[in-house]
Amino acid sequence: MVQRQKKHWARALSDAINMVTTAAAAIALCGLGGYWLDAKLGTDRWLTVIGVLLGVATGMKVMWDKMQATETTIPRDDSQDKDKDKEELT
C-alpha cells in the first residue's frame, strides 16, 4: 500500500519553494537563451519558443521528481521513531 511519509516542515517548505523557483528559473534560462540565439542566428522567435518549451518540460520534470519522492511504499511506524529517540537520549 502506498503511504505518504510525514515530512519535516523544512523539507516540505524547501520542496515547495524548489519546485516553483526551479521551474521559473528553467523557463527564464531557456527562454532567454533561445531569445539570444534567435538574435544571433536570425531564426525569427523559433528558438525562443523551443527554449520556453524546454524550460516548461524541465519544470514539469522537477515537479514529477518531487511527487515521486513524496510517495513511498514503506509504511511509517511512529513507535519505532520514538524508540530511536529514546536510544539517542540514553
Binding residue (CB under 8 A) for another protein from 3, 14, 43, 70: 14
Q: What is the DSSP string of 48-77?
A: HHHHHHHHHHHHHHHHHHHHHHHEESSPP-
16 binds another protein per the rule CB under 8 A: no
11 binds another protein per the rule CB under 8 A: yes
CB of 7 to another protein, least distance (A): 10
Distance CA 3, CA 11 (A): 17
Identify the residue whose cell numbers are 529517540.
85
What is the three-class DSSP state of 6?
coil
Interface with another protein (CB under 8 A): 8, 10-11, 13-15, 17-18, 21-22, 24-26, 28-30, 54-55, 57-58, 61-62, 69
